[in-house]
Structure 1
Amino acid sequence: MSLKRLTINGLRGFSDETNIHFAIPDNLTPGSGLTVLVGPNNSGKSTIIEAVHLLISNNDIIPISSRNIKNAGKIKIEAEDLNGNIRTIESTNNNGAFVQKKYNNQDIDFWADNMNTFILSSKRNFSSTFHNNSYQNRDSYKGNISDLDYRSENNINNNFGGRLLTIYKNRNKFDSCLEKVIKPLPKWTIESSDSNNLYLEFSFDKIKHSSKGAGDGYINIFNIVDSLYDSVENNVILIDEPEISLHPDLQRKLFNLLVEYSKDKQIIVSTHSPYFVDWSLFSNKTKIIRLKKELDSIQLFELSETTKNGISKILDDYQKPHILSLNANEIFFLNDNVILTEGQDDVLCYKELFKRANYSATASFFGWGAGGATNMRYILNILKDLGYNNVFIILDNDQTQIIADLEKEYPNYHFFAIAADDVRNKKRDKKIDDIIKCIEKIEFNDDIKKDIFNIINSKFVNKVGLVKDMKDFEIKSEYKENFQLLIEELKRYFENNEKTTENKLENCINNNDNIFENELKAHKLLDEWLNKNKLFKYIENKYKNVEFKSGGGGPLSFKDIGKGKYYVILCESNSLSEQFSVTINFHFIIDVYKNKVKLKKKQIVSNTLPISKIRKIIEKIFN
């Protein structure tokens, strides 16, 4: 069943509650069920797949390295399917490593199924030998992961051999899927060693190789095709970095295969490859989600319907296919800092001029430009929707009149018009002069002719550029000062934004440090209070006539309630035997600014001690 929503709070970089909504297959349109997760390194893409893995894992422990320190180690992950069923794991009351599983808000000990998911982590190592009795069907396999740490470099998939045996029994079906990526099909079989261990064997030009000698690319494709070939409607497939060890042509073919299968299956991929980006799909039903780490939390960004419509208009301009070509795909993987120009001449020219001026831009150019000033808003909407904060736009002087409106629409972006009408000299199209000559031959009113010529000449002019041509790239003397001003504004804009970000990050780190310092201080104040007031002896002192055999206790909850205050619940329990015991919870308010600990109340949670009912009633009244 497709996932409608995934909520993450406290896992790795997700310090705030974050909801992710995936594409849902419509059973008609290729790509309708495909979600592509993009963004710079360490932006949280793999964490989303890891979160789904944790929701099918029967491991009850999440290590401290996976839990966000800002959340005091607390974690909650929740998934809702299309039928409204909700699967949850969240930290137990003591906020330690253990998590409680819940299904539709009811506590459970283990999952009844794996949500029909098939997960491929980016670590696709597998045991090179396997046994003949290790068949693995799709339901029991879950993917190339175990219940251990999802990201461990040492994870070895010992179950893929079982999948290979299943593949071998369904070879025709598997090969027909594999052939869509690799053609001609590689020759492969399952062989046996002298010790009767089985292994995967490939033949290349009559030379045989085991899986170790075949190359990581083949193993990667086998893993991914395995996730697809026996999938059925409403299966959920998650693949972390499908492009690993594949050259561009194989990446393209593999992406097309994923698009095909996502017609009736939900497929979620995390990628760093521009070959897994298709603007025409993103303007339709395929989802692209850009993740970005901002200060101490991860943010998600998606394209709006308005932006998608703009993308469609750009794609409909068959004369400018370069605008959203492979070069533009880089925009999905940058961290920030983008320079946007009107066209491809501008990109080529400014790169060379910056180089000659010894200016190393700390920003990346957007593809080959916007394809003209008329497309500027379409591209700016893309950048805005994808969460880019620092964008510098260079316009020609003849577009100065649109800057005021653009600055209102995109207040965080910086607009600069050069003093020249273009980046290089441009003569008007020769066809315009031919048209004028034809009009001159037509016999009609001279005044009307003159008006027509004036209109044509005003619309179609020779443009004087910043440089004469793009061979010598020599800046004209009258524009040198203006070009120097451009470089100074570029430096100022990006450097100021960088300093602002650094200051925000430093403040954030300091705030987090203060949080940890306050929490440590709260623990210390509580320990001092407990030792001074001998709370660990409270039950023994209360029931002096009872000889307890064992006892113990500890924190149930340690909650930051703001302004340097913490609400803490401690539990103390003593027992005579398994049958007879008493448990009391103590509620505290700790104020680290005033160095105060206040016991708010004592609560008898259970009492099965063999004492009189009257005494128990009195205890309840006074507690």
Structure 2
Amino acid sequence: MISSIKIKGFRGFAEEQELKLSIPNGKKGSGLTVIVGPNNGGKSTIIEAFKAVSSRSDISFSEGQRNKVAGSKVEITLQTCDKKKIDGNYFHTYILKTHFAGGSEAERTFRIDNLPIIVLPSRRFFNPYSNKASYGGDEYRALSKSIMLKPRGQPIDAEDNGLFDLVKNSELKGRFDDLLEKVLGYRLKWTVDLCNSGDYYVKICQQNVDHDSDGLGEGLVSLLFLVEALYNSKNSLIVIDEPELSLHPELQGNLLEVILEHTKDKQVLYGTHSPEMVSIESVLNGGTLCRVAKQGNTSKIHKLDLDDGTKKFLENSIENINFPHVFGYDARSCFFLGDGVLIVEGQEDVVLLKKALRLFDIKSKINFFGFGAGGAENIKNILAILSSLGFERICCLYDGNKKDEKENVEEKFQQYYFELLNADDIRDKKCELRGKCNILKDGNYCEDCQNRITPGIFDIHRKEINKDYRDGFEEILKRIQVNLSYKPNISEAVTRGKVDDNKF
């Protein structure tokens, strides 16, 4: 199995970065490695690195693919760890690097036969017709054969396409169709046929009409490759660039479920832009979640590491019936941000703070962590997760009556920025005893209950900002906006997470 890959000098990786892959342990999703992060962060570069190191042909790196900060030299190192010894060793290292004299040509220190890797690029498609005399195909069917790394999104033709092998055996095809049905929700009728011109093609039957693969939607064509790779992978690592492409959320969820089952005892790695393809269950079972983002002049890889407290928090979060959103879709969307996240206590804070930004005409967008942390006590655990994933600019806003909690967390995470509301809560709250009070006065609740209203920024009906807090609240929001805004070399102007406005 593949234990790690190191990349230096390839595209945005000016400095050497290592990605450690998950090793399956029998639990659902334990062999899954998921790469998240913003656009242009380096996710696809990692996929291309696997493609390069596992290519069966000589590789050349163009001038634009070689990072000038790294001396225009590329080095990709792959390490395996297997229970079965390779050349007498449990571990083996494979290196692909440009020649010492410089230039585009690369050399490798290994035979490609030892690397069981299947790479599926983004925009998976194949030429509907192929003039190959046989179905072809082998363990490395989806790998580039070119001397130079091709642009992303190359077609996969009959020789590289394992679908052509399945039609030879009805039992194998039946099992493949069963797996595909789990994702699609219906059984797709397909086969490989030969047209009169002598070309092979994939024939699809829908509503009693036959047509070639050109008539299929892009998402369905992509699924054919994904499911075929999962079905035929044996002990290979499957590397996928954006498995969610052209799939609606339901199919993404179905595909993830199939992948989680597959990775009980096999390895899959993919880069994704979809929160639907991020599984907290996988992380808890030993899978890997890492974030790739530009920091300074290089792309950096940050792996999520969980201590016992954070792991327990995640376990409770996915079963929390009161706050099921804590790591729901909106919260997982934050993993794909470049940086700059505001964490607040609850969903009401998110809704009313967005309203306040409009009322104060603060136009800069602020990215909230989902719909809140589900309570002030959870903020420290979310900070631990985002810190592990390499976020540099985070602000935490606590209610005014949570000063002690805020100061304790601030002491631990001094690199981030913290604020305290200038009121006890985001809005006025009724006394918790109002519904149980038996002492009435003039048909209303007792005077004592009236005095127990928790003062907040907004009135009790969430319509207006209380005038006593307005000015101070506006200043708090402006400070948050400044500290979360992107600035070049912002780390130089941060002291305990606070940006000095005079430097910009």
Into which bin does the TM-score normalised by the smaller protein fall? 0.7 to 0.9
Q: Which residue, 397, 409, 413 being the options, matches 2:412?
A: 409
Q: CA distance change for structure 1 residues 478 and 78 in 2, over 3 Å: closer, same or farther? A: same
Question: What amino acid is the match of 1:476?
Answer: N
Shift of 1:115: 1.0
Comparing 55-64 and 366-375, the one that deviates more: 55-64
Residue 462 of structure 1 pairs with residue 462 of structure 2: no
Matched ranges for 1:592-603 at <5 A: none
Q: What SS does the aligned partner of 2:331 have?
A: helix
Shift of 1:149: 4.5
2:32 equivalent in structure 1:
34
CA contact (8 A) 2:123 2:222 kept: no
Instruction: Summarize deviations over 1:421-454 as a string: whole Å, max 9, x none.
Output: 11112224458726x89xxxxxxxxxxxxxxxxx
Instruction: Summarize deviations over 1:160-197 as a string: whole Å, max 9, x none.
Output: 67522202123112101111101211222233323132
Q: TM-score, normalised by structure 1?
A: 0.71
Unaligned runs of 5+ in 2: 82-89, 440-447, 494-504
Higher helix content, 1 or 2:
1
Q: Which residue, 196, 203, 213 being the options, matches 2:198?
A: 196
Unaligned runs of 5+ in 1: 104-110, 438-455, 505-623
Shift of 1:378: 0.9
CA contact (8 A) 1:11 1:67 kept: yes
Question: What amino acid is the match of 1:407?
Answer: E
1:5 equivalent in structure 2:
4
Shift of 1:158: 2.4
Q: What SS does the aligned partner of 2:457 have?
A: strand
Shift of 1:322: 1.4
**In structure 1, C-alpha distance between the alignment counterparts of 2:388 and 2:395, rounded to whole Å:** 16
**In structure 2, C-alpha distance between the alignment counterparts of 1:9 and 1:318, rounded to whole Å:** 45
1:282 equivalent in structure 2:
283
Q: CA distance change for structure 1 residues 78 and 205 in 2, over 3 Å: closer, same or farther? A: same
1:498 equivalent in structure 2:
487
Matched ranges for 1:60-139 at <5 A: 60-82=59-81, 83-103=90-110, 111-113=111-113, 115-131=115-131, 133-139=133-139
1:231 equivalent in structure 2:
233
Q: What SS does the aligned partner of 2:381 have?
A: helix
Matched ranges for 1:366-515 at <5 A: 366-429=369-432, 433=436, 461-469=452-460, 472=463, 474-495=464-485, 498-501=487-490
Matched ranges for 1:467-616 at <5 A: 467-469=458-460, 472=463, 474-495=464-485, 498-501=487-490
Comparing 393-402 and 190-199, the one that deviates more: 190-199
CA contact (8 A) 1:416 1:486 kept: yes
Q: CA distance change for structure 1 residues 406 and 279 in 2, over 3 Å: closer, same or farther? A: same
CA contact (8 A) 2:158 2:164 kept: no
Matched ranges for 1:212-227 at <5 A: 212-227=214-229
**In structure 1, C-alpha distance between the alignment counterparts of 2:470 and 2:335, rounded to whole Å:** 34
Q: What SS does the aligned partner of 1:181 have?
A: helix
**In structure 2, C-alpha distance between the alignment counterparts of 1:316 and 1:408, rounded to whole Å:** 30
Q: CA distance change for structure 1 residues 498 and 401 in 2, over 3 Å: closer, same or farther? A: same
Comparing 415-424 and 205-214, the one that deviates more: 205-214
Q: TM-score, normalised by structure 2?
A: 0.87
Q: CA distance change for structure 1 residues 471 and 272 in 2, over 3 Å: closer, same or farther? A: same
Q: CA distance change for structure 1 residues 293 and 140 in 2, over 3 Å: closer, same or farther? A: closer
**In structure 1, C-alpha distance between the alignment counterparts of 2:20 and 2:316, rounded to whole Å:** 26
Shift of 1:401: 2.4
Q: CA distance change for structure 1 residues 74 and 39 in 2, over 3 Å: closer, same or farther? A: same
Q: What SS does the aligned partner of 2:167 have?
A: helix
Shift of 1:361: 3.2
Q: CA distance change for structure 1 residues 140 and 280 in 2, over 3 Å: closer, same or farther? A: closer
**In structure 1, C-alpha distance between the alignment counterparts of 2:392 and 2:265, rounded to whole Å:** 36
Q: What SS does the aligned partner of 1:51 have?
A: helix
CA contact (8 A) 1:202 1:211 kept: yes
Shift of 1:22: 0.3
**In structure 1, C-alpha distance between the alignment counterparts of 2:9 and 2:132, rounded to whole Å:** 42
Q: What SS does the aligned partner of 2:270 have?
A: strand
2:297 equivalent in structure 1:
296
Shift of 1:468: 1.3
Shift of 1:85: 1.2
2:157 equivalent in structure 1:
158
**In structure 1, C-alpha distance between the alignment counterparts of 2:328 and 2:160, rounded to whole Å:** 40
Q: CA distance change for structure 1 residues 25 and 147 in 2, over 3 Å: closer, same or farther? A: farther
**In structure 2, C-alpha distance between the alignment counterparts of 1:15 and 1:409, rounded to whole Å:** 31
Q: What SS does the aligned partner of 1:239 have?
A: strand
Q: Which residue, 316, 330, 333 being the options, matches 1:330?
A: 333
**In structure 2, C-alpha distance between the alignment counterparts of 1:256 and 1:52, rounded to whole Å:** 24
Q: CA distance change for structure 1 residues 416 and 80 in 2, over 3 Å: closer, same or farther? A: same
Q: CA distance change for structure 1 residues 99 and 499 in 2, over 3 Å: closer, same or farther? A: closer
Q: What SS does the aligned partner of 1:222 have?
A: helix
2:174 equivalent in structure 1:
172
Question: What amino acid is the match of 2:182?
Answer: K
CA contact (8 A) 1:127 1:161 kept: no
Comparing 205-214 and 364-373, the one that deviates more: 205-214
**In structure 1, C-alpha distance between the alignment counterparts of 2:376 and 2:66, rounded to whole Å:** 47
Q: What SS does the aligned partner of 1:20 have?
A: strand
**In structure 1, C-alpha distance between the alignment counterparts of 2:92 and 2:387, rounded to whole Å:** 34
Instruction: Summarize deviations over 1:335-388 as a string: whole Å, max 9, x none.
Output: 001111100000011111111221123330000101111111111111211111
1:552 equivalent in structure 2:
none
CA contact (8 A) 1:4 1:80 kept: yes
CA RMSD after TM alignment: 2.4
User: RCO greater where, 1 or 2, for CA within 8 Å and sep 6 or more?
Assistant: 2
Q: Which residue, 159, 176, 184 being the options, matches 1:182?
A: 184
**In structure 2, C-alpha distance between the alignment counterparts of 1:502 and 1:324, rounded to whole Å:** 28
Q: What SS does the aligned partner of 1:365 have?
A: coil
**In structure 1, C-alpha distance between the alignment counterparts of 2:474 and 2:328, rounded to whole Å:** 31
1:341 equivalent in structure 2:
344
1:440 equivalent in structure 2:
none
Instruction: Summarize deviations over 1:62-102 as a string: whole Å, max 9, x none.
Output: 22221111122112111111021111112222112122211
**In structure 2, C-alpha distance between the alignment counterparts of 1:88 and 1:67, rounded to whole Å:** 16
CA contact (8 A) 1:130 1:162 kept: no
1:48 equivalent in structure 2:
46
Shift of 1:223: 0.6
Instruction: Summarize deviations over 1:315-340 as a string: whole Å, max 9, x none.
Output: 34332111111110111100001111
**In structure 2, C-alpha distance between the alignment counterparts of 1:336 and 1:324, rounded to whole Å:** 18
Q: CA distance change for structure 1 residues 297 and 491 in 2, over 3 Å: closer, same or farther? A: same
Q: CA distance change for structure 1 residues 183 and 60 in 2, over 3 Å: closer, same or farther? A: closer
Shift of 1:287: 0.5
**In structure 1, C-alpha distance between the alignment counterparts of 2:224 and 2:149, rounded to whole Å:** 20
Question: What amino acid is the match of 1:200?
Answer: V
Comparing 91-100 and 203-212, the one that deviates more: 203-212
**In structure 2, C-alpha distance between the alignment counterparts of 1:416 and 1:162, rounded to whole Å:** 56
Q: CA distance change for structure 1 residues 161 and 204 in 2, over 3 Å: closer, same or farther? A: farther
